[in-house]
Structure 1
Amino acid sequence: MEKALIIGASGGIGQAVCQQLTGRGVAVTALSRSTDGFDLTDPDRVHHILEEIPGPFDLIFVASGALEIKGSEPEKTFRTLSAQAMMDQFALNAVGPALVLRHAARLLPRDRRAVFAVLSARVGSIGDNRLGGWVSYRAAKAAVNQIVHTASIELARTHKQAICVALHPGTVKTEFTRKYLGRHPAVEPDEAAANLLNVTERLTPADTGAFFDWAGKPVPW
C-alpha cells in the first residue's frame, strides 16, 4: 500500500487531498497545527514531530500556507509594507516548507519513485508578475519556489527517482481565499485536490525542481 504524509491536513486543500488519497487506497498520515500542534513556524516542534514519524512515504504534500497572517492583508502598495507582516509571511510560507524539506532525505524512499510537493502560487512567479502588489506574499512564494528547486538538486544526488516540485492549485474556494475571489473563476477543494494529485501522478524524475499549475503546465519562475 502506498503511503502519504500530508502537512496542513486540516485546511481546505489539505483536507481534500487527504480524502482523495484515502479514497484511492493510500495510507495517509495527516499533520496540522489545529489537530497535532504541527506549527510550521516552530522549528523545534517541526523537528520533533518529523523525527518521530516512520517513513518512507511515496508522497509528501505540504499544503500549509496563509494569505493573511495576524490580520495583515496583502499589500496593495509598498507604502503599506510592514516588516513584521513580511517576516510572518516568510516564516510560514517559505521557512516552514524548508523545515519539512530538511527531513526529506529520510522520509522519502531511495529505491523507487516518490514525490515531494509544496503548494506555491502563481503570484510567486517573477516572470508572470504584471500587476504588482501583494509584496510579502509574492516574495514568500518566490522564496519557496527557490527552496524547492534547491532541495530537488540535493535530493537527486541520493534519491534518483525522487521528484520535488512546487504546485499552483489555481483559485480554490476556501476560507483562505474567501475575501479575494471577486470575479475570478474558482473551484471547490475536492476538484483542486483531484487536479493536483493527477499532476503528481504524471510527474517523472525529469520534472524534479520545476513549478507546475493544477493542469500540469509549467509556470514561469
Structure 2
Amino acid sequence: MCSQNRPYSYASQLYDKYKEALDEYINSTVLPALREKQDAEFMLRELVKRWENYKRMLRWLFIFFHYLSRYHIARRSLPTLNDVSLTCFDNLVYKDLSSKAINAVIMLIEKEHEGEQIDRALLKNVLGIFAEIGRGEMEYYVSDFGDAMLRDTAAYYSRKASSWIVEDSYSDYMLKVEECLKKEKDRVSHYLHVSTEKKLLEKVKHELLVVYTNQLLEKEHSESRALLRDDKAESSGSVCEMLP
C-alpha cells in the first residue's frame, strides 16, 4: 500500500492517519484516565503509567510504519513519526494537565520540606516526562516547573527564616542553614535536574542569609563576645563565609 507507485500509493494518507490514530487514542483513553484522578499523587502515578504505555505503543508503531520513516517522510522532509507522536502528547495531554501536574509535584516537595516521606522516584519520573516532551531540551522543565518550584522554595524558606531569626541563637541558626543546604542538594541528586542546583541553593542562601545579614552579624558578634567572656574557644563559622 505504501510502496506502490502513484496513483496506488497511500503513503500520504497513512501518514495523516497515523496522527489521527494517536489523537483518538489520547482523547479516548489517556485523558479520561488522567482526568478521573482527583487525588494529586494518584494523578501523577497515572501520568507516568500512561506515558510509559504510550511510549511502548510507539515502539511497535515505529516498526510497523518503518517504510514511512525511511522513504516517505525522508523524501518529503516531513516531521518524523517520533516528532508527530511527541507533538500529539504535548498538545493534548501536557498543555491540558501540566499545571495540575506541576502543582502536585510542588505540593509533594512542600510535604518533604516539612519532614514527610514522599515517593522520590515518582517525582523523578514525572519531571523526566517534561524533558522527554521537550525533545531532550530543558525548556519545559525550566519555564514550567523550575521557575514555579524556585518561587515556592523561596517562600518556604522566607517563612522559616522569619521565625528562626527570632527564636534561635546564631550557632543554632547557622546549623539549620547548613542542614537546609544539604537537604536541597540531596533533592537535586534524587529527583531534580542537576541544572537546578545552582539557582536553588542561591534562593535558599538569599532567604536565609542575605535577607538577614545584619541581624546574623549582630548575633554572631554577641555570641563571640559571650564566648570570650566565658573563656571558651569554640565559635561557629562566620555568616560571611556562607553568603552567595
For CA contacts below 8 A with separation 6 or more, give which structure has more relative contact order.
1
- Which is helix-richer, 1 or 2? 2
TM norm structure 1: 0.33
Q: Which has the larger radius of gyration?
A: 2
- Which is strand-richer, 1 or 2? 1
